[in-house]
Every structure is written in C-alpha cells, then in structure tokens.
C-alpha cells in the first residue's frame, strides 16, 4: 500500500504539472473562443476519449457518484471562469486556491476524517505561500468583496468538495467509471448551458484547436482519470497539498513562454508552497525508514 501511495502522489504531481502548464495555452485560446464554448469542447473531447478507452471497464454502480462529481466539476469551472471576468486575476487565483485549506475542513465535517497535525501545518504554510505568490500586496485582500470574489470563493468551496468526494468514492467504485461519468456529465451540462450563459463566440484557429486537444486529452481525460485512481491510495488532504504546486508551475510556464516576471514576494511564496509539501513528505519518508530499520 505504501508503494501504491507513493505512485499515487507522483501521479497527482503529474496532474498538477499538466494543469499548471496548460494555463498559458488556455489564456491564449480564449481570445478566439468564448469560455463556455471552450469548456464544452474540452469536456466532449475528454469524454469521447475516455469512453473509447474504458468502454469495457465501466461499472453501473458508480453512475450516480460520477454524475454528482460531474456536476461539482462543471460548477467549479463555471464559478472560476465567471468570477475571473469580474475580479482581478490575482484575487481570483488566491480565492480559488483557498480550496486547499478547505479540503481538510470539509473532509473532517463530512466523513469525520481528521488530518494529521503535520499535514495541517503543511497546508497552512502552503496557503500562506499561495497568498504571497498570487497577490501583489495584502492590501488587495482588505478591500471589499466583489461579486467576482464571491464567485471565486464559491469555486474554492466546490473544488474542495469535489476533491473530498473523489477521494471517498474512488475507493468504492472503479476509477474508470467515476472518471468517464463525471467528464461526460460536465460535457452534457456545458452543451445545455453555453448558449444561455453567454454570447457564443468561436473562431477556429490552430491555437484554439491545439488548446482544446491538449486540455481535453491531457488536462481533462488524463488528469481527472489519474486523480480518480490516485485518490484511492492517498488522503484528500495530501492531494490538496500537492495541488498547491499548480500556481508555481503556472508561473514557471508563463516565465518560460512569455517572459513574465515574478516579484520577490512571489518567489518567497513559491518557496513556502514547496516547503509545506516537502515538510510533510520528508517526515513521512523518515518514518518509513525508521519503521523498516526497526
């Protein structure tokens, strides 16, 4: 089980790398396609790919859980994209990142799963680092909440519930069914709602096609399947802590592709995120070594 947990957490790191590196691709594509159209195309590409791959492995028992997970996933993306239009990117990034400290809170309330003390410390350190990384100054956080801020906070709450839910039900149902049904549900919801949510805008370009394929196949099909598999073997709290790596990865990608600069406070924040994760991982590794040596 320990070796499986290690592989699972490596898989979650891979998921985080994918999500972080696709941010620049998505931002560029949105100049030619409206948000809901893009999300719908992304989910349909992922759903069709997963159905083709796992059509013989699907189980009937996980349909209800998959539909609920898909509703959570789609709602989180709607809150995130809608909030981003009405608030600053830095405030949106910080408020969305609050899903990380919310995960152990939701898990303890819903499933009575209390995180370990060191995991809580790691979460707090990583969250403080995210605040430094995603906000230009703390004065930004002291101004009044806007509608966009509220939507971003709802996104954080929904993502936290989604992470906890996947962690719980991935152990009860096949991860294949959970991944396929949740993505297909999100695709159907997108098809039903994108026409009334915003004026549809779509200009097919090479950048849009590449973004849809990359985010659909890698950022959605592969990433959420890997998440559903990995959360069978590690806690929701540890998964959330690993997901805290996404903002530093997104900045590194933006720096490499667009030359975006990072303030010193942002560098300190990125270091704190890594420190929070490493503190938990190194402590666990030390315990495993002691146990094997005794």
Query: Tens digit of pLDDT for each residue in 190-239?
Result: 998 877 766 778 888 998 999 999 999 999 999 999 998 998 898 888 88
- Does the structure show a pLDDT above 80 at 267? no
* Residue 97: closest CA among 270, 217, 199, 246: 246
Query: Tens digit of pLDDT for each residue in 34-66?
Result: 888 898 999 999 999 999 998 877 666 668 888
Q: CA 101 from chain center: how many Å?
A: 13
pLDDT of residue 88: 64
Question: 137-142: long-range contacts at Cβ-Cβ below 8 A with a sequence spacing of 24 or more?
Answer: 140/88, 140/90, 140/91, 141/91, 141/94
pLDDT of residue 63: 80
Query: Tens digit of pLDDT for each residue in 80-96?
Result: 877 776 776 656 766 77
- pLDDT band, very low/low/confident/very high, at 144 (cuts 50, 70, 90): low
Residue 279 buriedness (CB in 10 A; 0-12 / 13-18 / 19+)? middle
More confident call, 274 vs 12: 12
Q: What six digits make up the tokens of 250?
A: 């997104």
Lowest-pLDDT range of 34-38, 58-62, 75-79, 101-105: 58-62
- Does the structure show a pLDDT above 80 at 110? no
Q: What six digits make up the tokens of 101?
A: 């400290």
Lowest-pLDDT range of 1-5, 139-143, 202-206: 139-143
- pLDDT band, very low/low/confident/very high, at 132 (cuts 50, 70, 90): confident
Residue 227 DSSP SS3: helix
Cβ neighbours for 82, distance < 8 A, ≥ 6 positions apart: 148, 151
DSSP 8-state secondary structure symbol assigned to residue 202: B
Return the domain boundaries, the chain.
2-293
pLDDT of residue 290: 44
Contact criterion met (CB below 8 Å) for 40 and 119: no
More confident call, 59 vs 33: 33
b/e per residue 152-185 (b: at least 16 CB within 10 A): bbbbbbbbbbbbbbbbbbbeebbbbbbbbbbbbb
- Does the structure show a pLDDT above 60 at 255? yes
Distance separating alpha carbons of residues 181 and 261, to the nearest angstrom: 40
Work out the number of other CB atoms within 10 angstroms of the CB of residue 233.
20
Distance separating alpha carbons of residues 109 and 57, to the nearest angstrom: 33
């Amino acid at each position: 089980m320990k070796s499986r947990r290690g592989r699972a957490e490596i898989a979650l790191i891979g998921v985080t790398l994918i999500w972080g590196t696709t941010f620049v691709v998505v931002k560029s594509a949105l100049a030619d396609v409206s948000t809901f159209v893009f999300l719908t195309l992304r989910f349909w590409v992922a759903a069709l790919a997963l159905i083709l791959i796992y059509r013989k492995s699907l189980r009937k028992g996980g349909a209800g859980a998959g539909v609920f997970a898909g509703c959570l996933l789609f709602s989180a993306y709607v809150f995130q994209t809608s909030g981003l239009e009405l608030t600053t990117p830095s405030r949106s990034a910080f408020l969305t990142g609050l899903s990380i400290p919310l995960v152990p809170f939701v898990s303890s309330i819903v499933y009575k799963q209390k995180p370990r003390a060191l995991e809580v410390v790691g979460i707090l350190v990583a969250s403080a680092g995210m605040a430094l990384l995603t906000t230009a100054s703390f004065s930004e956080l002291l101004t009044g909440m806007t509608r966009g801020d509220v939507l971003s906070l709802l996104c954080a709450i929904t993502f936290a519930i989604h992470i906890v839910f996947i962690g719980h039900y991935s152990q009860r149902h096949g991860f294949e069914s959970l991944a396929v049904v949740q993505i297909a549900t999100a695709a159907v919801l997108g098809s039903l709602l994108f026409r009334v949510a915003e004026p549809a805008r779509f200009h097919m370009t090479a950048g849009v096609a590449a973004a849809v394929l990359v985010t659909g196949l890698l950022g959605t099909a592969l990433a959420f399947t890997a998440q559903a598999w990995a959360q069978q073997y590690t806690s929701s709290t540890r998964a959330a802590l690993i997901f805290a790596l996404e903002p530093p990865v997104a900045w590194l990608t933006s720096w490499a592709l667009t030359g975006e600069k990072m303030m010193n406070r942002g560098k300190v924040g990125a270091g704190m995120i890594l420190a929070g994760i490493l503190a938990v991982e190194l402590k666990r590794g030390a315990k495993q070594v002691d146990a094997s040596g005794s």
